């Protein structure tokens, strides 16, 4: 695949700026011949922009529209009667909204969206003894406090739970909850990834949550935006769940719909996408 449209534009802009600076310097300190040569190069770049970059921009816009139409046709009705729970464990709530909308357009019902704030690990440590005590009634006395909390959250997301449990978790500021928590979800979609390259939140949030969801036989799909600074995908794959590493793109959201529909694998555009861009499905006979 060749350089992207954004790469071309960035390159041209950088050259224009460099030449502009050069002309300013040249007009003051350099020989007139050099200034004339810079003016010629600037005109050549302007012509190149008109003849090459603008057509690329139009082509890119046309391809984007075609892809959106194709996506809508491929995914329309694919998730009818599917109930999906979304859990935002990273920093990309906008990607979660886009993913939820794509799932709705495919026919799914978004039962709930649960946001784990960046302060979750600290708040969990502070409130763990008191919170676990209020939740322990439904679990074995041998369960440690942390397991009790994560099992409760996983059950709330994947199976639904009484309103008092939801109240306990939100009042402890562990989660922000939106939607209905009274039905079992057919799939749980994690939206991870961090804007901080030193972030390791998956260790204290995502992996314990996935472990509890897996014990409940929930279908879990781990995703993140292509632009994520710190990737969670390898952490997701270590727990043997399907992944999409570019859920902020049209193709990534199409892949998500297919995974919720029953496909499995590791997809996207990063080096963690072992199975390519999209599920290919069975070969035609």
Is this structure's pTM higher than 0.95? Answer: no
Place of tokens 């793109």: 249
Q: What would the CATH number be for the domain defined by 80-267?
A: 3.40.50
Q: Residue 43: its pLDDT value, please? A: 77
Quote the CA–CA distance of 281 and 17 in Å, as a whole number: 48
DSSP annotation string for 41-103? HHHHHHHHIIIIIHHHHHHHHHHHHHHHHHHHHHHTTTTTT-EEEEEE-SS-HHHHHHHHHHH
Better-predicted residue by pLDDT, 56 or 123: 123
Percent of the chain whose pLDDT exceeds 70: 75
Statement: residue 24 has pLDDT above 90: no
Structure confidence at residue 130 as a pLDDT band (50, 70, 90): confident
Statement: residue 259 has pLDDT above 90: yes
Given a contact cutoff of 8 angstroms between Cβ atoms, the answer to whether 255 and 244 are in contact is: yes
Q: Residue 16: its pLDDT value, please? A: 60
Statement: residue 161 has pLDDT above 60: yes
Percent of the chain whose pLDDT exceeds 90: 58
Structure confidence at residue 1 as a pLDDT band (50, 70, 90): very low
Better-predicted residue by pLDDT, 240 or 130: 240
Residue-averaged pLDDT of the chain: 84
Place of tokens 């079992």: 184
Please measure the distance between the N-terminal and C-terminal CA atoms of the chain and give it in whole angstroms: 30
Q: Where are the domains of the chain?
A: 5-73, 80-267
Given a contact cutoff of 8 angstroms between Cβ atoms, the answer to whether 115 and 88 are in contact is: yes
Tens of pLDDT along 168-202? 999 999 999 999 998 999 999 999 999 999 999 99
Structure confidence at residue 284 as a pLDDT band (50, 70, 90): very low
Quote the CA–CA distance of 258 and 74 in Å, as a whole number: 9
Better-predicted residue by pLDDT, 163 or 40: 163
Instruction: For strands 176-179 and 109-115, give the pairing.
Output: antiparallel
Structure confidence at residue 9 as a pLDDT band (50, 70, 90): low
Cβ neighbours of residue 123 closer than 8 Å, sequence gap 6 or more: 117, 172, 173, 174
Lowest mean pLDDT among 26-35, 75-84, 150-159, 212-221: 26-35
């Amino acid at each position: 695949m060749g350089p992207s449209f954004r790469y071309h534009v960035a390159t041209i802009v950088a050259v224009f700026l460099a030449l502009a600076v050069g002309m300013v310097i040249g007009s003051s300190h350099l020989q007139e011949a050099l200034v004339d040569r810079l003016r010629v190069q600037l005109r050549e770049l302007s012509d190149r922009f008109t003849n090459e970059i603008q057509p690329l921009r139009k082509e890119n816009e046309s391809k984007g529209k075609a892809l959106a139409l194709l996506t809508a046709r491929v995914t329309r009705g694919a998730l009818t009667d599917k109930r999906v729970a979304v859990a935002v464990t990273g920093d990309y709530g906008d990607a979660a909204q886009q993913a939820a909308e794509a799932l709705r357009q495919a026919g799914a019902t978004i039962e709930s969206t649960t946001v784990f704030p960046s302060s979750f690990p600290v708040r969990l440590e502070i409130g763990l003894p008191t919170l676990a005590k209020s939740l322990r009634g439904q679990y074995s006395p041998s369960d440690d406090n942390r397991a009790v909390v994560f099992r409760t959250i996983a059950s709330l997301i994947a199976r639904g739970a009484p309103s008092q449990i939801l109240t306990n978790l939100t009042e402890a500021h562990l989660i922000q909850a939106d939607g209905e928590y009274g039905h079992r979800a057919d799939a749980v979609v994690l939206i991870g990834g961090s804007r901080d390259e030193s972030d390791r939140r998956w260790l204290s949030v995502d992996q314990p949550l996935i472990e509890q969801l897996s014990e409940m036989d929930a279908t879990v799909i781990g995703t993140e935006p292509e632009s994520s600074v710190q990737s969670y995908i390898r952490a997701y794959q270590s727990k043997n769940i399907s992944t999409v590493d570019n859920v902020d793109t049209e193709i990534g959201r199409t892949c998500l719909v297919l995974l919720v529909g029953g496909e499995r694998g590791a997809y996207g555009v990063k080096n963690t996408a072992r199975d390519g861009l999209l599920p290919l499905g069975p070969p035609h006979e």
